[in-house]
Amino acid sequence: MVSSLILKIKGGNSLWIPIGLLLCELLHPRPESDVEYLHGILESIARIEAKGYKLLKDLGATPVEEVITSGGGSKNQKWIKIRERVLGLPVCKADQTEAAYGAALLAMKGACENATSD
């Protein structure tokens, strides 16, 4: 489990934030409705994701045109719709929805690139 967040800032500096402190501040006041509470959390996660894509674009990365999702969240249509609305992008379910599948593909690609460069 992640216990802290380290943000890299321009100029090589880092900002360390304890997750517990961050979550306590962000998750209060808690609405009485569990549905509203979960919806608020999912909206916030989607906004953070959107900021991440914007930052990558600002740093020179190719703009995101489509998000392909995997893992448990790919099974939740409401979560996919929230992400589509907040991101302003299509969000599609991956053919292979196991979260580790993408990591395995990246590892395989890296291994193949290393083998050909040796």
Q: What is the DSSP letter of 89?
A: S
| The two structure tokens encoding residue 99 | 């979260």
- DSSP-H helix ranges across 2-117: 19-26, 34-58, 77-87, 99-117
For the entire predicted model, the pTM comes to 0.66
Residues contacting 42, CB < 8 A, separation 6+: 78, 79, 82
Q: What is the DSSP letter of 2?
A: -
Given a cut of 70, whether residue 36 has pLDDT beyond it is yes
Given a cut of 90, whether residue 89 has pLDDT beyond it is yes
**Of 80 and 5, more confident:** 80
Which pLDDT score, from 0 to 100, does residue 2 have? Answer: 45
H or E element, residue 16? strand 13-18
* 70 close to 43: Cβ distance less than 8 angstroms: no
